[in-house]
Structure 1
Amino acid sequence: MAADPYELVAMLFEELRETLDLMIDSARRGDDARIFRYRAKALAILGGLDESLNFEVAGDLAQTLHVIYSEAAKRIQMDGADSRIERVESAREMIHEIEKAWTAIAPFR
C-alpha cells in the first residue's frame, strides 16, 4: 500500500501482461473455463487503467490511452476460437508497448 501511483500503474501493466499470457496459454490448450476467468481479470485491469486516466491533466495522451485500452478490451472480448489467440496476442502487444514507455518514464526507475 506504500506504492506511489506510477508504481501502481506499472504493477497493473505487469499483471495485465501476465494475465494475457495465461489467457493465450489456456486458449492453446482449449481450456475455456480458464480463458473466461483470465478474460474477466484482464478486462478488470484494463478498466482500472482506463479509470485512472486524468483527462484534465494528460489531455490528448489520456484520450489516446483510452482508445487503446478500449481496443484491447474489444479484442480480448471477441469470441471465436479460430482467431482468439491472435486477437489476444495483438492486445498484449499493444499493452506491452505502453508498459515499456511507462517504465521508461516512471520516476521510481
Structure 2
Amino acid sequence: MTFQSNIRRASSYKSIQKNSNVLSANPYDLVAVLFAELRDSLDLMIESARRNDKGRMFECRAKALSILNGLDESLDFDAAGDLAQTLHTIYVEAARRIQAEIDVSFIERVESAREMLHEIEKAWMAIAPGAQQVDSLRRAS
C-alpha cells in the first residue's frame, strides 16, 4: 500500500467520523456549531480586510452569508413567533452590514454585525443542553 493510499484511507475515515458526529448531534449543538463557524468567518473576514486580502475576505464573506442564510431558513415562525421574527430581522441586518460596500467604514460595519450575532450566540449557548459537545463537533469537521 502506498503512502498516498494511506492518506486517502485516513481522510475517508475522518470524513465518516465527521458525518457520524454530525448525524448524531442534537439540533442545539448543530446551531451552536453554526454560530461558532459564523463568528470565526467574520473574524477572518475582518482580519483579511485589514490586510487588504480581498480574495480571502470575499471567501469568508460568502461563508458567513451562507451560514446566516442557513440560520435564517431554520427559523420556525409558527413555533417561535415573535422571537423568530426578531432573529430574522437581526440576521437580515447582519447580512446587510456584511455585504456593505468596501469603504473606510466597512470593517466597523462587519464588527458591529459580529457583535450582534455574538450576543445571539451567547444566549444560544446558555440554553443549549449539550453546549460542551460543540468543540468536538467542530474539530470533527
TM-score interval, normalised by the smaller of the two chains: over 0.9
Residue 80 of structure 1 aligns to a residue whose secondary structure is: coil
Larger Cα-atom Rg: 2
Deviation of 1:68 (Å): 0.2
Between the aligned partners of 2:25 and 2:116, the Cα distance in structure 1 is: 25
Query: Which 5+ residue runs of structure 2 have no aligned equivalent?
Result: 1-22, 132-141
Query: Which 5+ residue runs of structure 1 have no aligned equivalent?
Result: none
Match of 2:50 among 28, 31, 34: 28
| 1:52-102 CA distance string (max 9 Å, x none) | 100000000000000000000000000123111101000000000000000
Match of 1:18 among 15, 40, 45: 40
Amino acid at match of 1:24: I
Residue 78 of structure 1 aligns to a residue whose secondary structure is: coil
Give the TM-score, by structure 2 length.
0.76
In the alignment, does 2:117 pair up with 1:95? yes
Deviation of 1:34 (Å): 0.9
Corresponding residue of 2:61: 39
Between the aligned partners of 2:28 and 2:119, the Cα distance in structure 1 is: 16
Answer yes or no: is the 8 Å Cα contact 1:27–1:81 preserved in 2. Answer: no
In the alignment, does 2:96 pair up with 1:74? yes
- Give the superposed CA RMSD: 0.7
Between the aligned partners of 1:92 and 1:46, the Cα distance in structure 2 is: 11
Residue 81 of structure 1 aligns to a residue whose secondary structure is: coil
Amino acid at match of 1:5: P
Give the TM-score, by structure 1 length.
0.97
* Same amino acid, percent of matched pairs: 70
Corresponding residue of 2:105: 83
Between the aligned partners of 2:103 and 2:59, the Cα distance in structure 1 is: 16
Q: How many residues align?
A: 109
**Structure 1 stretch 81-90 or stretch 64-73: which is displaced more?**
81-90
